[in-house]
Structure 1
Amino acid sequence: MAILVFDMGGSAVKYGVWSQDSLVSKGKFTTPNTWEEMKTQLQQVRTSVNEEIEGVGISAPGAVNAQERRIDGISAIPYIHGFDIYSELETAFGVPVTIENDANCAGMAEFYQGAGKEFQQAAFVVIGTGVGGTLFQNGELVRGAHLYGGEFGLMILDQGKTFSQLGTAVQMAWRYCDRIGVDRATITGEEVFQRAEDGDA
């Protein structure tokens, strides 16, 4: 038996199968524009997996409200918010679904198995399309009263813009694409850094 796992990001959805203490059958697809397209892509991945799946684990942006079975707040994927996403996904997959905030997932991996496993208090900053984070106090994940514990990306840094808007390579590349008048998917953050090194002011 295995678990199908997805990491939903603002730019791409990565996936794999967790089986016998290792991640296999890894892949990714570009984050779709609508919820229906997302469900279709997720189901296609499920169909392509040869292993018997006992559950699905999802790392998702936003304030994941497991008690209310929905994702609250805001994120780089606006269409996943505000409805019973658990039931829709359980119907689509035919197995139980667990969802956790993406930054919390990354932080828990480090806290329980990685760089933070020797500590009781820790803070992790996660930089992707936006900026997320995780806080641990006395060995416990701090979710916060409104499920925003560790959401460093919401901090206002300059002229009303947030850490998420100003602090990632993806957002920088988008600003660069806007400035030179090309589609935002044209140039990556890596390419912007390379252009800067090659003398592009």
Structure 2
Amino acid sequence: MVCDTEYTWNTAKHDLQAAPTMSATEIWDQLVRLDPATANPGLAPVDLIVVSGGEPLLYPDIVTALAQRASVSGRSLEIETNATIAPSAALIEAGAHFNGGLKLASSAVPRGKRIKPQVLEQLQISGRARWKFVVTGPDDVREIADLQQEFGLTEVWLSPEGTSTDVVIDRMRWLADVALTHGWNLTTRQHVLIWGDKRGR
């Protein structure tokens, strides 16, 4: 599987230092400014903040501070993680939710690097984890079923791999039956369907 955000890791083609470094306070202030309800109090405020990456759990102090601020403001904070780093007790106590995007064998990442049993168990026990898998074909589906059984994963979500509208739609069609058969959920790559493979959308 090819990572579709090459500009996050390929130093030969991209300047990874171009992204600004911000403190938790600066990030939070920017999030509040971006909320349409800040400029228009007649609108309902955004109630869910999703922290993506890279791997957000590499920055435990930042994500914990953001989760605490979100909780105080009546918002929920969800962290998209590859589930290889355990969340701290403070982060769980702060009320963070987790979207565990485990890599599958099709990623070509060795199992020992992508499957960390203690981390999976800790996230599952938190009661605040959902599990999302990017699917390329039937082998992925079999592996997901095995992982669900092995670790007792609840709330499994499937997402079709693809950077073109045609590929995403074709995979959605056969994944719909897979999701119904296993009692899983299905989501799509909305940004690809709308904007294709365009960076920054």
TM over 0.5: no
Could you say which structure has the higher strand fraction? 1
TM-score by length of 1: 0.30
TM-score by length of 2: 0.30
